[in-house]
Amino acid sequence: MSVFQAPSLESLVSELTKLPGVGKKSAMRIAFHLLRSPREEVDSLAAYLVDVKEKIDLCTVCGNYTETEPCELCRDPRRDGRVICVVEQPSDVFLIESTGEFRGRYHVLHGALSPIEGIRPESLRIGELVARLQDGEVQEVILATNPTVEGDATAFYIGETIKERKVSVSRIARGIPMGGALEFSDQLTLARALKGRRGLE
């Protein structure tokens, strides 16, 4: 017999530890919290989980999560269709949207190139991006993949693929994070920050 005295509790805890950022201790806290909660609250959480998988699909244009086709960002006439920001994950769209600084459209690749993990260009939504440049409306592509080996390789690959097109291609800036200190920056970031220096505005 386990220390839990209840197999269903043990199963729930082990299921919860599969979630990102949830260790054994947090899983137990969550499970005991749910046991104390009214039945309706737990049922409603379960229903929301099922709901999200049922209702949400990928937008066929940008690849972001959406409940409508195409998604609200692709449909919104107030957004600038001449600029596309390319990101690795749908969560990146959310992050950029929450800055309120970008009014163009997005393209979600759903990953980054990684020969080790077998992620090749065909596995990503690069063909779809090229297709979106076809009609000549898009004038600028911002490559906002992560500043990692994979993200850089992906940005480079996309840059090479679309360099024949009449679009300006840029890469988001790398440097010292806002509020960060030189003291706590690694050499690579510091080198990048020096290289990417800009005149005072």
Sites of contact with a copy of itself (CB under 8 A): 1, 3-9, 11-12, 15-16, 18-22, 26, 28-35, 39, 41-56, 64-67, 71-73, 89-91, 93-94, 97-98
Nearer to a copy of itself, 64 or 154 (CB): 64
Confirm if 94 and 106 have CB atoms less than 8 A apart.
no
**Closest separation in Å from C-beta 37 to a copy of itself:** 8
Whole-angstrom distance, CA of residue 38 vs CA of residue 41: 6
**Closest separation in Å from C-beta 169 to a copy of itself:** 25
Phi, psi (degrees; rounded to nearest 5) at 52: -65, -35
CB-neighbour burial class of residue 45 (10 A; exposed 0-12, middle 13-18, buried 19+): exposed
User: What are the structure tokens assigned to 50, written together?
Assistant: 């099922």
Confirm if 141 and 87 have CB atoms less than 8 A apart.
no
Nearer to a copy of itself, 12 or 126 (CB): 12
Nearer to a copy of itself, 67 or 160 (CB): 67
Nearer to a copy of itself, 47 or 188 (CB): 47
